[in-house]
Amino acid sequence: MLSILGITLPIFALILAGWGARRIGVMGPMASGEINRYVVNLALPALLFDIVANAKIATIWQPGFMAAFALGGAAVFALALGVSMSRGRPLADAAIDGLNAGYANTGFIGFPLLLAVLGPSSLAPTLIASILTVCVIFALALVLLEIGLQAQAHPLHMARKVALSLARNPLLVAPALGAAVLLSGFGVAGPVNAFLKLLGGSASPCALVGLGLFLAEKRDEKASWSAIGALCVVKLVLHPALTWFLAARVFHLAPGLTHAAVLLAALPTGTGPFMVAEYYRREAALTSATILFTTIAALGSLMVWMTVM
């Protein structure tokens, strides 16, 4: 419990710093949006490129683990998407709901938590989970979001506009370029790598401060408590349970990989969905509340999953 608390306290501290800065007037009403633009257009693309380009194919090629984790995330994404659309919500908003359910905080919490619980052997599966989260779950949500935003156009016109939007989206372009570098075998030059580490390292802290700034704003938009509760249950209970079933019963992974997959799936919702929601001006109140409450609830749920595993 103390190790989980020690890892999550800095997250709450960064959110609180943003909240306090806005409340006392140190930062203005535009700060949240501008910080988020910086994260989406500069810091997060640098981080995504860095993660993918510097990965080792031999390390990340674990098909069983990849399938179990990716299918678990995709399943809860699809469930949240389907339920949201069945209630009459637009595709763009439903895609963000799916992202809230399937996007685990593998970067900020996953690496230190699994290192503390499972040791150095957990670094490879955590890296794989991070890549799958941003390259599969994140990319899927962006594609559906763009389709939803262009839904009123003629099908051919819509397809062209969606393709152009995706081709210009730095959150998709960056990991695609990183994959090209990885497959080329050339690697990343030292100075470029240092630049990427500095810029990419600011993504999560800035996103958390931006989340605090957003939470401090007074607004008419209110998130539904039932929706927040449902997303918390899906993220913290259903996601790891389904991942356990896939890892242990379908792909028969070794106990160490099964434990890693379940704990990674049991992590709270990361900041990625908030960046997207704020950037596109969709569902930011629900998303920010989901991130906050899953992170708080994860203090207990992770202890339960570690005890079970």
Closest by CA position to 91, among listed 149, 138, 153, 134: 149
Tokens at 26, concatenated: 């140190």
Question: What was the pLDDT predicted at 137?
Answer: 87
Task: Name the average pLDDT for the chain.
Answer: 85
Question: What was the pLDDT predicted at 55?
Answer: 79
Question: Could you read off the pLDDT of 237-282 as tens digits, one per residue?
Answer: 999 999 999 999 999 999 999 999 999 999 999 888 888 888 788 8
What's the CA gap between 109 and 252, in Å, rounded?
Answer: 26
Give the position of tokens 């929601």.
Answer: 277
**Which pTM was predicted?**
0.81
Question: What was the pLDDT predicted at 257?
Answer: 93
Tokens at 149, concatenated: 């935003």
Give the CA distances from residue 58 to residues 132, 137, 183, in Å, rounded to whole numbers and listed in that order. 16, 23, 12
Beta-strand runs (E) in 27-177: none
Q: Which residues contact 274 (CB under 8 A, 6 or more apart)?
A: 36, 207, 210, 211, 214, 284, 287, 288, 291
Question: What was the pLDDT predicted at 37?
Answer: 85
DSSP bridge partners of 104: 269
Question: What was the pLDDT predicted at 75?
Answer: 96
In this predicted model, which residue has the larger pLDDT, 72 or 36? Answer: 72
Mean pLDDT of 105-125: 80
Mean pLDDT of 95-124: 84
Mean pLDDT of 122-135: 84
- Segment among 44-58, 85-99, 105-119, 157-171 with least mean pLDDT: 157-171
What's the CA gap between 300 and 297, in Å, rounded?
Answer: 6
pLDDT at 116 over 80: no
pLDDT at 95 over 90: yes
Banded pLDDT at 140 (limits 50, 70, 90) = confident
Banded pLDDT at 309 (limits 50, 70, 90) = confident
**DSSP secondary structure letter of residue 268:** P
Question: Could you read off the pLDDT of 171-230 as tens digits, one per residue?
Answer: 778 888 888 888 888 888 889 999 999 998 888 788 888 888 888 877 666 678 888 999
Question: What was the pLDDT predicted at 101?
Answer: 94
pLDDT at 158 over 80: no
> How many degrees, rounded to 5, is the angle at CA 111 between CA 106 and CA 112?
125
> How many degrees, rounded to 5, is the angle at CA 126 between CA 111 and CA 166?
105
pLDDT at 77 over 90: yes
**DSSP secondary structure letter of residue 121:** G
Task: Walk me through the domains of the chain, giving residue ranges and CATH numbers.
Answer: 2-308 (1.20.1530.20)
pLDDT at 16 over 80: yes
Question: Could you read off the pLDDT of 46-71 as tens digits, one per residue?
Answer: 888 888 888 787 777 889 999 999 99
pLDDT at 81 over 90: yes
Chain Cα centroid distance, residue 283: 15
pLDDT at 165 over 70: no
What's the CA gap between 121 and 3, in Å, rounded?
Answer: 18
Chain Cα centroid distance, residue 150: 24
